[in-house]
Amino acid sequence: MSSPKVRVRFAPSPTGIMHIGNLRTALLNYLFSQQKNGVFVLRIEDTDPQRNFDIGAKKIIADLNWMNLTYNEGPEIGGPNAPYFQSERMPIYRKKLEKLINKKLAYPCFCSEEDLDKKRTRQQALKLPPRYDRTCLRFTQEDIATRFEQKLPFIWRFKLDHDTTIEIQDLARGIVQFDLKNFTDFPLTRTDGSVTFMFANFVDDMVMKITDVFRGDDHLSNTAGQAALYQAFEVPIPKFYHMALLCNIDGKKLSKRDFGFSLHDLRQEGFLPEAINNYLAIIGGSYDPEIMSLEELVKNINFEHAHANKIKYDVEKLRWVNHQWIQRVSPQELATRTKQFLQKAYPSIAQLDDKKLAEIVQVLKTDFYTLADAVKELKFYFEAPTVSKAELEACVSPEYAASLKTMIKKELANIENADAFAHALKAEAKKQNIPLKNLFWLLRLALMGEVNGPGIHDLIIILGPVESKKRIEKIVTLL
């Protein structure tokens, strides 16, 4: 008998921004589905209307599109398991709940939150694990009917078989066993009749025939109850990958205060989607080469050696990966991507030809670690530098100042030919035994306000001969 077609799902809640843990879950689901020639489903868990701020999951979908993580079924594109919003799937949940009730695997619980808090407090005082004591399971049908007639608030609980041990297969941990006597009869519904995350999540995975579930290992304790639900419905339990949680460089859980926690942070700073995907896919592993496209990641990521330990999220390593990807991007594409950052700082860029911008970023990109670095690196182009006498004296030895002034003024007539201009000055400096660093530092200081940077030829080409001559003449007067 052949194995069922691989089906995975990313099931975010539209109650917060897309953080790096969500994104890694989506990415690994995508890579796994591509590698196995399977199906990637997007499902929105929007059963908490008070906290939903991304109505219709528009931001989630936009983020996935920006990251090039294409799903095969889900909102906006549809599929055989629609609807893909949990808020629209209540009839399905009620039908599955009725089946459990009819099989006497679910029972009504009338205990109030106050009652449950008291029970937990007492259990903790006795050093017992806080677990529901099954008070309501012991009610007779008459007891239950009376409470229904009184319209007392209640929830439905799933009745676990405490004499059973259940096991799952986990990519990172192998076979994991759960002794159900250590788990509580968990709620399937809330007092308002809505279903819990545990139950809705299970029903959707079962109905959508999800074969492999990728999620954070903070959900591991939920898995025992959900595995018991699969057995109750007599359907195969999917394989799981409880992924190691990302922590910061100090080994602490990532928080909103950590830079790079959200995708919004990274986009605002100018990280490329290719680099973010690349880094999140290889994090915690060892790959050679490390720089890979999505297509290369699909081929090379080894899910047989999944990690179960904490993984450190190192923004500096991400910056390095981003730097490598910036070098890969075509000049025209890099110009397009940096333009949004440059427009905010330099409105005059509107008059700059796209082809010219592409030429400029191609020369300067070796200093770009994020797209936002373009603002600093291109400042000299939009704003002529102001050089003080002190800065000039710091880079040009007084003994060479007069000679440099004379030779530069003489050669400025040839600046239209950037190659000839640079070559002639270099030859003359050697002839007069002037250290070339004094010459090049002086010219860079004049052209861009820095002593280190691109070649003089490149700077003249970028600025144009007229602007270059104007800047060099200005600094020569200070010698």
The DSSP string of 11-58 is ---TTS--BHHHHHHHHHHHHHHHHTT-EEEE-B----TTT--SGGGH
Three-state SS for 260-310 is CCEHHHHHHHCCCHHHHHHHHHHCCCCCCCCCCCHHHHHHHCCHHHCCCCC
Q: Which amino acid is at 138?
A: R
Q: At what angle do helices 398-411 and 436-448 cross, to 10 degrees?
A: 60
Please report the pLDDT score of residue 257 as a whole number: 82
* Residues composing the chain: 479
The CB-based long-range contact list for 89-97 (8 Å cut-off, 24+ gap) reads: 89/200, 89/203, 89/204, 90/194, 90/195, 92/203, 92/207, 93/195, 93/199, 93/200, 93/203, 96/199, 96/203, 96/206, 96/233, 97/156, 97/188, 97/189, 97/195, 97/199
pTM, 2 dp: 0.91
Q: How far apart are CA 177 and CA 165, in angstroms?
A: 7
Q: At what angle do helices 197-207 and 220-232 cross, to 10 degrees?
A: 60
| 108 contacts 132 by C-beta, under 8 angstroms | no
Contacts of 446 (CB under 8 A, 6+ apart): 385, 387, 471, 472, 474, 475, 476
Q: How far apart are CA 58 and CA 257, in angstroms?
A: 25
| 40 contacts 293 by C-beta, under 8 angstroms | no
Q: How far apart are CA 110 and CA 118, in angstroms?
A: 14
| 6 contacts 36 by C-beta, under 8 angstroms | yes
Residue 44, phi then psi, degrees to nearest 5: -105, 120
Please report the pLDDT score of residue 258 as a whole number: 83
Contacts of 463 (CB under 8 A, 6+ apart): 381, 447, 471
| 106 contacts 157 by C-beta, under 8 angstroms | yes
Please report the pLDDT score of residue 126 as a whole number: 82
Q: Where are the alpha helices (DSSP H) in 220-262?
A: 220-232
Q: Please give the positions annotated as active site.
A: 256
Domain ranges of the chain: 329-382, 384-476
pLDDT lower than 70: segments of the chain: 1-2, 49-53, 307-308
Please report the pLDDT score of residue 50 as a whole number: 66
Contacts of 96 (CB under 8 A, 6+ apart): 199, 203, 206, 233
| DSSP-based helix, strand, coil % in the chain, nearest 5 | 55, 10, 35
Give the residue among 455, 259, 266 at the shortest CA–CA distance from 371: 266
Dihedral sign, Cα of residue 249, residue 250, residue 256, residue 259: negative
Contacts of 370 (CB under 8 A, 6+ apart): 269, 270, 271, 319, 322, 326
Which CATH code is given to the segment(s) 384-476?
A: 1.10.10.350
Calculate the alpha carbon distances from 75 to 6, 45, 54, 251 in Å: 20, 12, 13, 36
